[in-house]
Amino acid sequence: MADILIVDDNEITLQTVDRLLTKEGYNVVAATNGKEAIQLLNLLTFDVVISDLTMPFVTGLDLVRHIREHFPETPVIIVSSTSDERSKRDCYNLGVEHFLSKPITPMELVMKVRKLAAPEGEN
């Protein structure tokens, strides 16, 4: 099954998404901030990255920039309580596959991950 990196500075969100995706059969690694996520990305390979947009120090946008520069084929889902059009546009301009506004439904997230994590030709 696919390897998923989830990044959020909210421990409850991390645990919830981790449980949800693990239950779906994915291998999940969690990072509590963008700096930790970058360290993990430099050590491991991920099929999908799910990140919060607003985090201290290294924001979700900073993380997306790093991913696009070093791992351009890795799909990214941004999840955020900020749903303003500028944030969405910035994310999509950087190549984010999906921008989901909180609160999201578990099924919505699972469906997006399934599509992005499916091997080529199985979408």
Distances (CA, A) of 76 to 71, 80, 94: 11, 13, 10
Report the pLDDT value the prediction gives residue 86, as an integer from 0 to 100.
87
Mean pLDDT of 34-59: 95
pTM for the full model? Answer: 0.93
Distance CA 104, CA 58 (A): 23
Report the pLDDT value the prediction gives residue 122, as an integer from 0 to 100.
53
Mean pLDDT (the chain, rounded): 92
How confident is the model over 59-105, as pLDDT tens digits?
999 999 999 999 999 999 999 987 788 889 999 999 999 999 888 89
Report the top-level CATH class of 3-117.
Answer: alpha beta
Distance CA 120, CA 69 (A): 22
Band of pLDDT at residue 120, cut at 50, 70 and 90: low
